[in-house]
Structure 1
Amino acid sequence: MYSFEKPLAAVLLIAFTSLTACSDDASDNTDQTTDAAASDASVELDAQASDAATDDATDDAADSAATQSDVSDVSEDTQTASDTVQDVQSAEDVDDDTQTQSDATEDAEDPADVVQDASVVDDAASQDAAQGTGDAMADGQDPGDSAMSVDTLIAIDGGGADSATMPNPCDFSGASKWSFSALPSATIQVSDFTLSASAAAKIEVRHVSEPKRVLYQSPSTGGFLSASKTFLDVHEHQGSFDIKDKVKVTCSKARLLTQAVVGDNLALRGDFEDAEADCKGLTFEAHICQPISGHLQVHVVTNNSKFNRLTWHAGSAADERIYGMGEQFPHDSLNLKGRSIPVIAQEGGVGRGHLPISPAVNAVSKGSAGTEATTYFASPHFLTNNLTSLFVEDTVYAEFDFTPKDHIDMHVHNTTFTGRILHGKSPLELIERFTDFAGRMPTPPSWTGDGAIVALARPLTQSTAIVDDLLKNGVEIAGVWNQTWSGVAKTFIGEQVLWNWTENPYHHPGWKNYVGGLKTKGIRTLCYINSMLRDVTPAIAKVKKNLYAEAASKGYFVKNTKGDVYLLPVTAFDVGLIDLSLPAARTWLKTIIKEEMIKAAGCSGWMADFAEALPFDAVMSTGETGEQWHNRYPVAWAQVNREAVKEAGKDGEILVFHRSGHTKSLKHAIFFWQGDQLTTWDKYDGLVSALHGLINGGLSGISLNHSDIGGYTSLSKYNLGYKRESEQLKRWAEMSAFTALFRTHEGNQPGINAQVYTDKSAMQHFGRMSKVFKALASYRKTLFKDAESKGWPVVRHLALHYPGDAKAWTVDDQFLLGDQFLVAPIKNKCFTKPFCPYDKTLYLPKGEWTHLWSGKSYGSAFGSETVKIKAPIGEPAVFYPKGSAVGADLVSKLKAAGVMK
């Protein structure tokens, strides 16, 4: 049995074994990240490199030089993450043009990605001018494009000549020459928005179509802006990041002094009244405009680049419910009010607070358990039940603090920030507005709706036999996912997949016949890739070519501060990470995907793994740090994969699913999956966490998402610990049948986990659910169109269609498939077998609802109801609106398939 590409799980399994005084088995499989034996990487990121040698009395004199500091100021001692203890220049110290060039020019349909080229107060003028240079670029730039020319950017992302010359509605290039005057007492109109501002830096925003509704207001206790000198104390733990923001000084008493209006654009200037000496002479300028309909953009810069954290403050009601921030996995409630969320893509962790798993994991691999706030896909965006929706465009590290009762603090670790206030009259419209900027996911290949994608990472003859058994037991199969296409090699962990992304005729001499045999049965073959490579010498395995050696010779890897390949330890071996800031490296990697995966191996899709572990102290080809590039890397990874598919002429035919992401990943990714959950039921990291992540992610525009059926990570030895049980696997399959994709994973310990092919009962149940999933294909196609054109999620929170129902906002364990099916997954194991009541209590919004399996009517046209129904295994709690043609169609198809009588 082969080991899967999850090194972290392997490390933790070893840890579990040692904790239980058991020995490991070579057949146990692995999870992804780095070696637990590696010590913590501690990276202290100061506000300026000069801060260490200069006291605050010299701040003003150092400002100009500080912005020109080179990333080579990082310590020369670093080799790998295991020996990193150093001071590294923060992203805020590097020329602003390199940051904004990548962040603000990605969307030709949104000219406001062209932010302001403003000559602002004092020495900030040069910063803003640099920003404008980058911001004037064309559509399509992602984090990997900062080294590229405008023409290259247009060519890569498919933009035309008009992309670079599109008129910019947010043109502040001449702001230094505008005529500024005292703040008026009346409101100021900025295109379709109205804004009132006071000397105390209090701002209130409305929309002309709803003049009585406040879209944004600064806190009642302060203004909209504060500025801080901070440094980040960063500890990396195998792809997990522990980041502490150490504040030196904060200037919080902002005041507005003057304003200028030119056309539809507004510029505000102000300073700070704080008593601290550092705050004296600190000034700022805010540029406010409407880039596109429904968006009000706010760009802020100060005159002192040593203030490397700007905080945008927003008022908030104590009972306001807050959602979004990418793919969050809250334990109890999806409401983020009362929590602080770091905006960084990282390992989700194993356990996420589960007792006793998390303490045991952290005892052996500090930080690897993760927390309630760790996520693979982070986005600085939220919406509330009051229809407030804000986001920050920047990709730098940020923290959104929702803990205060009366306001929200959005900390952006940069010398500037660009945020947006959205207008929408419903939650769905607000998601549509957000994805105007973030991008929208395409309709996936139609074949994905034909049935299950079954994971079978094993010898080809075994895989073929299992497929035949599944088909005989009525399972609808769309694809088989075999991660071992590139070969395997023996390590002390067991047998692990070769991270050398070429078709391997030496390990799988029958691979082409295998793929062809599946094709004759109407089944596609899916593979695996990540953006790392292992140095595969002849002593390790026989391969067609060593991609690591080729990439190293061409300089395609991320470097450490000595200019060497930054080696990342992954359990039993080290790997190099491809530098996606380098255009030539991206082109080379796309060629590998096209020639080796699509052409040679015949892959109809693949898992595009990782991309969230770029070390902060790494050095990119552009001279930027890993800190600056960290959140941009998963976006670049999604773009590389999508471009390869397009260049191969296979867009719309190939399925690629990612786990990591940041805001603009939505523009490039074809699909997402939720990463590695435990093979448990719980809310921390099991079935319930997958349910929560699926629903919440949709509120941040992750419209096409799914989870491994049954979870992934088991921690079991000699029948002790945690492993996947048959009932849990079946209930997870029932939930997944009503989502966007129906895909299994054998888990990191396939031999001890219940599998969909374990026995006849498992196969028959899985066959039943695969038929349900297939029967919903035509309806899902309409939802895919909504996702592609509007950014609406396929799986939806109840409040998206019942925003006026206060109770619907609080229901976190049910979801809607589109607007036609209400699903309430079973979340708990039956402990009283064989006498299981299988009762399910659930909430039905106003209206009459038909129970899928019995045809009985529930609910009321006069109001919402809470009902209790029977939900035995094989009949999950599902309802559709009474009289729904879509519901009737599903019933008809299930009867024709023999699922219903």
Structure 2
Amino acid sequence: MALSQQNLESLELTTLNDGFALSWQNRLILRHTAQTPCLWVGAGEADIDMFRGNFSIKDKLDEKIALIEAAVIPQDAGWNVRFTRGDTVNATLHIGIDAEGRLELKLKNDSASHNRIWLRLAAKPEDHIYGCGEQFSYFDLRGKPFPLWTSEQGVGRNKQTYVTWQADCKENAGGDYYWTFFPQPTFVSTQKYYCHVENSCYMNFDFSAPDFHELAIWQDQAVLRFECADNYIQLLEKLTGLLGRQPEMPDWIYDGVTLGVQGGNEVCQQKLDVMRKGGVKVNGIWAQDWSGIRMTSFGKRVMWNWRWNGDLYPELNTRIKQWQAEGVRFLTYINPYVASDRDQCEEASKLGYLTKTHDGKDYHVEFGEFYAGVIDLTNPEAYDWYKELIKRNLIELGFGGWMADFGEYLPTDTVLHNGVSAEVMHNAWPALWAKCNYEALEETGKLGEVLFFMRAGYTGSQKYSTMMWAGDQNVDWSLDDGLASVIPAALSLAMTGHGLHHSDIGGYTTLFDMKRSKELLMRWCEFSAFTPMMRTHEGNRPGDNVQFDNDSDIIAQFARMTTVFTTLKPYIKHAVALNSQSGLPVMRPLFLHYEDDPQTYILKYQYLFGRDLLVAPVHQPGSSEWTLYLPQDNWVNLWTGEPYTGGGEITVAAPIGQPPVFYRATSEWAELFTSLRHI
């Protein structure tokens, strides 16, 4: 492919005395000199230990060598740059334009002994950086390194907190600021370009230095793609054009809250009756224990044998039809593992569908007082077998959806059917799991009618995961692992190309004397009314947590906020449709629409819900008022009708049931928003 005149104008390589500079659409991408090289290579051996989805990762590094000499060789489709250090160390960088007009950098270690690459991209001190998957502690990633490895998100996620210390002491489960279910080697710069690395190996993106971003890649080759745009909305459209977009959600999602309930048909019916009698709009029952339960010291766990448990849920097929006739879907649970002591694992083993140990035996993973086999999704026959299981045992029974849990536990020392190292496949595994669920819906004609939601993800999840949820937050107010952490998680995922996100109302993880409070549950409920989906969870220890039906105040709060949510249905559906059509996320950072306002680039605990609603959730206990930032625009308090002129911080009353929410005075939805004052 010859470069077009437009591409030639966009891509500029300038030869320097001892190096070169590469610019793309007036953005400096690479600058290399002998004194400041852009490329290092080396050799290392990964030391990776996993315990219950928590990873300890070290690199036994033999050498890291700066390649200081660079020879630029023109090619028809760009340039080849030959990097060397002496006579034995070398690497090649091909610079070109791909078939879709994106800048493409292809890196290859030419020394067989080298399996590490460090590439430094040019940066400006004033740059802000967003993305890298779902990041819970930071939204602007500038100033810190971010290792990219799908894992448990960690309990506490802050090495300065007592909870994290306790979790680390117990089983190395405390985590850190970068631990995430959904990492991705994709970032967006405020120079209005994105960079995406196609690899799935372990990587570390370090944004600490003022004048470069260092990308560490644990492979001997890498492919990077870049696109630029005039604004962030166009940039996300281009990014999601590369990665894929989520389909629109089923219509019933907008009709209320999905109640997380366990314990059988009658418990589900009783709780449904209580909530509906209290005026709560309910669209579904989510019963994760449909296949039975297993009690562990962690709490009540699902039985990982993906078949309807008729003892716990007798005549479930009839009850599903009854509830659906009443506008209530029945949702359930599955993951890509099968309990070692149950018949589905035995069947998978006989068919050869489990991943293997190096001596050819079935690999079993310890998940917390029980073991499970890993379905080898790289084996086409095993993949189809599991997809048919989903069709037969979930879709045909009439489920309205399910949690497609886990995906981040692939051990790096297991052997896969496709022959690819599990270390390289580990990050790609969640997207492969999403694809299996997606195709089960697509092939049965249920896409757009049935919804599955996931916590784990990677490149490809944009196309195949119909909804993300934030995972297992603590039932507390902590910034790194409580209610607040869900907001930067949604925004960073939005800047990685996945625009549908929600969370467990009230959180999930209940350990170390944590107990979900009434106030936390009510605040989380009102926050969730301004997300694409409302869904509760009892938590891993339901008896330690306040639940949605504990008293009349909580039921009244759910009645109020589900009424708000269902009233906003046309507005939310419109935002979801835009996400499907162009990749514009439903929950948006403020700078997408106020890019000339520098304050919007550092906000991580408030967001735009669609174009016209600004939401600043109350995420600290005992707060009756809240301070937030309004960008330059004319705003109206959603609850009081009081007008505000933006351009600074304001403090407003924020009683429970009235979280700080403002709408644009000129919005075409103003009449709909005004109607919420009377709820």
Task: Work out whether the TM-score is over 0.5.
Answer: yes
Q: CA deviation at 1:260?
A: 2.2
What is the deviation of 1:474? 0.9
2:521 maps to 1:729: yes
Aligned runs of 1:495-510 on 2, under 5 Å?
496-510=301-315
Deviations 1:100-121 (A, max 9, x none): xxxxxxxxxxxxxxxxxxxxxx
Deviation at 1:493, TM superposition (A): 6.4
2:616 is the counterpart of 1:811: no
**Residue deviations 1:142-175, cap 9 Å, x none?**
xxxxxxxxxxxxxxxxxxxxxxxxxx789xxxxx
User: Equivalents in 1 of 2:583, 2:573: separation in Å?
Assistant: 14
Q: Which amino acid aligns with 1:302?
A: N
How far apart in 1 are the matches of 2:578 and 2:359? Answer: 49
- Secondary structure at 1:516's aligned position in 2? helix
Q: Does 1:267 align with 2:79?
A: yes
Distance of aligned partners of 1:657 and 1:865 in 2 relative to their CA distance in 1, 3 Å threshold: same
Contact 1:240 1:368 in 2 (8 A): yes
Matched residues in 2 for 1:652 and 1:215: separation? 43
Alpha-carbon distance in 2 for matches of 1:522, 1:286: 57
Report whether the alignment pairs 1:372 with 2:177: yes
Q: Percent identity at matched positions?
A: 32
Question: Is residue 2:73 matched to residue 1:281?
Answer: no
* 1:451 corresponding residue in structure 2: 256
**Which residue does the alignment assign to 1:828?**
620
Structure 2 residue aligned with 1:886: 669
1:480 aligns with 2:285: yes
How far is 1:626 from its partner?
A: 1.4
- Residue 393 of structure 2 corresponds to residue 596 of structure 1: yes
Q: Shift in Å at residue 624 of structure 1?
A: 2.5
Higher strand proportion: 2
The equivalent of 2:626 in structure 1 is 840
What's the counterpart of residue 216 of structure 1? 29
Aligned partner (choices 606, 624, 638) of residue 852 of structure 1? 638
Deviates more, 1:456-465 or 1:551-560: 456-465
Structure 1 stretch displaced more, 498-507 or 667-676: 498-507
Q: Is the 8 A contact 1:188 1:196 kept in 2?
A: no
Shift of 1:596: 0.7
Separation in 2, partners of 1:536, 1:236: 22
Please say which structure displays the higher CA radius of gyration: 1
**SS at structure 2 position matched to 1:819:** coil
Q: What is the number of equivalent residue pairs in this alignment?
A: 677
Which amino acid in 2 is paired with 1:567? Answer: H
Distance in 1, matches of 2:279 and 2:358, equals: 57
- Summarize the alignment of residues 116-127 of structure 1 with structure 2, pairs less than 5 Å apart: none
- Measure, in 1, the Cα distance between the counterparts of 2:132 and 2:605: 19
Write out aligned runs for 1:657-736 (5 A).
657-715=453-511, 721-736=513-528
Q: Secondary structure at the residue paired with 2:524?
A: helix
Q: How do 1:106-255 residues align onto structure 2 when only pairs under 5 Å count?
A: 190=8, 192-198=10-16, 200-207=18-25, 213-218=26-31, 222-255=36-69
Give me the whole-angstrom Cα distance separating, in 2, the residues matched to 1:877 and 1:423: 35
Separation in structure 2 between the aligned mates of residue 440 and residue 222 of structure 1, nearest angstrom: 39
Q: In terms of mean alpha carbon deviation, does 578-587 or 295-304 score higher?
A: 295-304
Distance 1:320 1:797 in 2: 16
SS at match of 2:543: coil
What secondary structure does 2:391 align onto? helix
Cα displacement string for residues 28-68 of structure 1 (whole angstroms, at most 9, x for unaligned residues): xxxxxxxxxxxxxxxxxxxxxxxxxxxxxxxxxxxxxxxxx
Contact residue 188 and residue 194 of structure 1 kept, 8 A: no
Deviations 1:379-420 (A, max 9, x none): 011112232421211111111111222211101111111111
- Rounded to whole Å, the distance in 2 between the matches of 1:454 and 1:435 is 32
**Residue aligned with 1:585, SS:** helix
1:683, distance to aligned residue in structure 2 (A): 0.6
Query: Is 2:275 the partner of 1:470?
Result: yes
1:871 shift after superposition: 1.0
In 2, the alpha carbon distance for the partners of 1:430 and 1:636 equals 26
Structure 2 CA distance for partners of 1:431 and 1:874, relative to 1, 3 Å: same
Please state how far the C-alpha of 1:708 moved relative to its aligned partner: 0.6
Q: Which residue of 2 is the match for residue 644 of structure 1? A: 440
CA distance in 2, matches of 1:755, 1:725: 9
Residues 430 and 357 of structure 1: is their aligned pair in 2 closer, same or farther, counting only changes over 3 Å?
same
Aligned residue type for 1:473: G
Conserved in 1, the CA contact under 8 Å of 2:301 and 2:540?
no
Task: Decide which of 178, 185, 202 is 1:397's aligned counterpart.
Answer: 202
Shift of residue 885 of structure 1?
Answer: 2.1
1-side partners of 2:567 and 2:178: how far apart?
Answer: 36
The structural deviation recorded for 1:455 is: 0.3
Instruction: List per-residue Cα deviations over 1:178-211 (Å, max 9, x = no partner).
Output: xxxxxxxxx995474333343644322132xxxx
For the pair 1:572 / 2:389, whether they are aligned, the reply is no
**Hey, what does 2:538 align to over in structure 1?**
746
**Is the CA contact 1:849–1:881 (under 8 Å) kept in the aligned structure 2?**
yes
Distance 1:307 1:191 in 2: 35
Query: Counterpart of 2:242 in 1: which secondary structure?
Result: helix
Alignment of 1:18-33 (within 5 A): none
Within 2, Cα distance between the matches of 1:402 and 1:757? 46
For the 8 Å contact 1:488–1:507, the answer to whether it is kept is no
Q: Normalising to structure 2: TM-score of the pair?
A: 0.96
Q: Give the 3-state SS of the residue equivalent to 2:48 in structure 1.
A: strand
Q: In structure 1, the residue corresponding to 2:499 is in which secondary structure?
A: coil
Local SS of the residue matching 1:807? helix
Contact conserved, 1:192 with 1:290, CA < 8 A, in 2?
no
1:796 has 2:601 as partner: no
Tell me, yes or no, if the aligned pair for 2:150 and 2:427 is still in contact at 8 Å.
Answer: yes
Show the counterpart of 1:758.
550
The residue identity in structure 2 corresponding to 1:667 is K
Between 383-392 and 680-689, report the one with greater CA deviation: 383-392
| Deviation (angstroms), 1:292 | 4.8
> Among 542, 545, 554, which residue is 2:351 paired with?
554
Kept after mapping to 1: 8 A contact 2:428/2:459:
no
- 2:299–2:540: 8 Å Cα contact kept in structure 1? no
- Aligned partner of 2:132: which letter? M
Decide whether aligned partners of structure 1 residues 785 and 289 sit closer, same or farther in structure 2, where only a CA change above 3 A counts. farther
2:635 alignment partner AA: W
SS where residue 643 of structure 1 aligns?
helix
Once the two structures are superposed, what CA deviation does each residue of 1:330-377 show, in whole Å capped at 9, x if it has no partner? 2xx522122111111111011112621111111121x21111110000
The 3 A distance-change label for structure 1 pair 301 and 199 is farther
Distance 1:622 1:829 in 2: 51
**Could you tell me which residue of structure 1 aligns to residue 187 of structure 2?**
382
The answer as to 2:144 corresponding to 1:335 is no
Which range moved further: 590-599 or 228-237?
228-237
- Amino acid across the alignment from 1:796: R
**Alpha-carbon offset, residue 494 of structure 1:** 6.5
In 2: Cα distance, 1:740 partner to 1:723 partner: 27
Quick check: 1:295–1:422 contact (8 Å CA) kept in 2? yes
1:360 — aligned with what?
166
The Cα shift of 1:576 comes to: 0.3
Residue 740 of structure 1 aligns to a residue in which SS?
coil
Distance in structure 2 (CA, Å) of the matches to 1:686 and 1:293: 41
Deviations 1:523-552 (A, max 9, x none): 000010001111445xxxxxxxx2111101
Q: Distance in 2 between matches of 1:203 and 1:726?
A: 58
Aligned-CA RMSD value: 2.1
SS in 2 for 1:603: coil
Output the TM-score relative to the length of structure 1.
Answer: 0.73
Q: SS of 1:680's equivalent? A: coil
